[in-house]
Amino acid sequence: MAADTSSQPDAKARRGVQFRTLRTMLPYLWPAGRTDVRTRVVGAMIALALAKGANVTVPIFYKRAVDALDIQGSEGAAMTAGIVAIPIALLAGYGLTRLLAVVFQEIREALFARVAQTAIRTVALRTFEHLHALSLRFHLERQTGGLSRVIERGVKGIEFVLNFMLFNIIPTLLEIGLVCVILWGLFDISFAAVTFATIAGYIAYTLIVTEWRLKFRREMNDSDTNANTKAIDSLINYETVKYFGNEGHEAQRYDSALKRYENAAVRSTVSLSVVNVGQGGIIALGLVVLMLMAANGVAAGTMTLGDFVLVNTYLIQLYLPLNFLGFVYRQIRQSLTDMEDMFQLLNVPQEVMDKPDAQPLRAPEGKLSFSHVDFGYDPRRPILKDVDFTVDPGKTLAIVGPSGAGKSTISRLLFRFYDPSGGSVRIDGIDLRDATQDSVRAAVGIVPQDTVLFNDTVEYNIGYGRPGATPEEIREAARLARIHDFVESLPDGYRTTVGERGLKLSGGEKQRVAIARAILKSPQILLFDEATSALDTATEREIQKSLREVSKGRTTLVIAHRLSTVVDADEIIVLESGRIAERGTHATLLADGGVYADMWRRQQEGEEGDGVALSAPSPG
């Protein structure tokens, strides 16, 4: 008993969450300013009421036709000619009423289809836009496979709830009420009472047992999400799996997740049998009691044979949706759970938001400054400490330092994926927190170390730098990035698909696509984040030539590990443990003999050891 008592608050809390979920969905069904959608909702409700009215009228025509035939059989053939016309008219009315029930039902379907699909599209789009508005921190902490599964199930849940709760559960309850009123009016309250008691017992049993077995469904969902996440992670990292020969290990991890799903699914199926047996017993008991009452009425002469048929017809007519009600209720509960998971994503607050009075950057000149910036992903572990530098328009600043020094964090602050905890980041003197995020990111272009391409065509991936660019502009950007001739040599040219994450292209080819994409965007500030660190020396030199051409006349920020790529920079700053340890030109830093000079010497010795010594340009 103690366990049951403790579970009551949880059940109440879940019901509260489900009601809130339904309330969250209602505005999408009655959207402000959409008179067309609201008109469809009203029309669908009217059609629904007419369909149910016609549906409960059908058995009355059937009863009267049976009574007429029963009288004809009792009074003999002498009256045949005068009586036969009555059943024909009643049967015609029976057929017409049944047809009208179907017609109104289909009208309701047609009217509400646009409402449902508009609501689904609006919710899905809002969730998608909200996910893109969330911080990089959120996406780094969440697994993409599981996240996509939550959205997919949530959208399907909305569709199911709209179609079945509005047009199955509610109409069925309406029909049950109408039938109870009709039975009470035609006979007595006992028929309505037995019908109501049967339905109430059915619903109560369904609610209680479904609550008990819902934990198995939740376990299935968790196992399904886990298995899907493992599968997607493994397939995304296909090359890594192959490198280490870990196909068996990945299969074992996936099978382990599938086994948990299998066990949860078996328990769910067995518990479903318990639900179905109990529901069938309740309905059978109600059927027997009502049929006995009707049979006694016929035997006593207080009811006609048509009345007996009427009661039987109503029970059979109600039994079908009632039998379906158990499945629908279970699915609605699951759909509400799925919708709740998706709506929770909408409740995740944005870490970085535009101020209400934020203004866009207009025609930025490109002066970039970090003013005494402090930042840490975790307040307990600072990454950048009092970082202060300025890059004048058209100049190049290089940031070097060991791994973990905070170089890539600077790029994330520049794109305003995060806001600094201290100090400010400015473009043309404007604090990025006072500008709109869209205008900030429009002013900055990037060529990243790991270029991730969409599984689409080369043309699409280059054109992603500026959606809506003409094919001629895309090809011109490719020429400047020195990849046009290579693309033209492919069998499908610019229509060649690059594969998942661009796996069909080499590292250098992907980098050139990234350069072309940045050229097409035509930003005033360019950021090269370890753009050539993963390339061989020959490819690196070619890419460096392209980068120098692209950066002419633009403010350029180069984040690099290989010092040979930054010797021409107007200024070089050396980050060490999140602080600026040194700053100056390549020549002055070498002359100072500090951290930079030590890094340069070690890199030169490593390259000479590999037989690939690089000759640095003269300081001038």
Mean pLDDT of 507-527: 87
617 by DSSP, 3-state: which?
coil
Phi/psi at 435 (5° precision):
-110, 160
> What CATH number belongs to 368-454+511-609?
3.40.50.300
In sequence order, which ranges of 436-585 are alpha helices (DSSP H)? 437-443, 458-463, 471-480, 484-489, 507-521, 537-551
Give CA–CA dist 63/68, Å, rounded.
9
Shortest CA distance to 432 belongs to which of 66, 284, 423?
Answer: 423
Comparison of pLDDT for 245 and 460, the residue scoring more: 460
Domain boundaries defined on the chain: 25-346, 368-454+511-609
* Average pLDDT taken over every residue of the chain: 81
Sorting pLDDT into bands at 50, 70 and 90, what band is 612? very low
Sorting pLDDT into bands at 50, 70 and 90, what band is 2? very low
Mean pLDDT of 517-526: 88
Sorting pLDDT into bands at 50, 70 and 90, what band is 619? very low
User: With 70 as the cut, is the pLDDT of residue 12 above it?
Assistant: no
What letter would DSSP give residue 136? H
Quick: pLDDT tens for 373-391. 999 888 888 899 999 999 9
Mean pLDDT of 432-456: 87
Is residue 563 within 8 A of residue 544, CB to CB? The reply is no
The distance of Cα 121 from the centroid of its chain, to the nearest Å, equals 11
| Percent of the chain residues past pLDDT 70, beyond the cut | 88
Sorting pLDDT into bands at 50, 70 and 90, what band is 618? very low
Is residue 285 within 8 A of residue 212, CB to CB? The reply is no
Give every CB contact of residue 37 below 8 A, 6+ residues apart in sequence: 29, 30, 31, 114, 115, 118
Shortest CA distance to 293 belongs to which of 197, 200, 190, 196?
Answer: 190
Comparison of pLDDT for 97 and 9, the residue scoring more: 97
Quick: pLDDT tens for 177-227. 888 888 888 888 888 888 888 878 887 887 788 778 777 877 887 888 888
Of 16-20, 331-335, 407-411, 603-607, which gets the smallest average pLDDT? Answer: 16-20
| pTM, full prediction | 0.63
Sheet holding 384-391, edge to edge: 384-391, 368-375, 422-427, 430-431
User: With 90 as the cut, is the pLDDT of residue 475 above it?
Assistant: yes
The partner residues of 527 in beta bridges, in order of sequence, read 446, 557
Mean pLDDT of 245-263: 87
Q: What is the pLDDT of residue 176?
A: 82
Sorting pLDDT into bands at 50, 70 and 90, what band is 571? very high
Comparison of pLDDT for 612 and 523, the residue scoring more: 523
Burial pattern 93-131, b for ≥16 Cβ within 10 A else e, equals bbeebbebbeebbebbbebbeebbebbbebbbeebeeeb
Sorting pLDDT into bands at 50, 70 and 90, what band is 431? very high
The distance of Cα 396 from the centroid of its chain, to the nearest Å, equals 41
Sorting pLDDT into bands at 50, 70 and 90, what band is 370? very high
Q: What is the pLDDT of residue 245?
A: 84
Q: What is the pLDDT of residue 145?
A: 63
**What is the fold, at CATH topology level, of the domain defined by 25-346?**
ABC transporter transmembrane region fold (1.20.1560)
Strands 396-400 and 571-576: parallel
Comparison of pLDDT for 42 and 313, the residue scoring more: 42
Please count the residues of the chain. 620
Quick: pLDDT tens for 150-175. 888 888 888 888 777 777 777 877 88
Q: What is the pLDDT of residue 103?
A: 93
Of 10-14, 342-346, 354-358, which gets the smallest average pLDDT? Answer: 10-14
Q: What is the pLDDT of residue 449?
A: 79
Give CA–CA dist 247/240, Å, rounded.
10
Comparison of pLDDT for 47 and 362, the residue scoring more: 47
Sorting pLDDT into bands at 50, 70 and 90, what band is 77? very low
Mean pLDDT of 581-608: 87
Mean pLDDT of 28-50: 86
CB atoms within 10 A of CB 355: 10
Quick: pLDDT tens for 263-298. 888 888 888 888 888 888 887 888 788 888 888 888
Give every CB contact of residue 299 below 8 A, 6+ residues apart in sequence: none
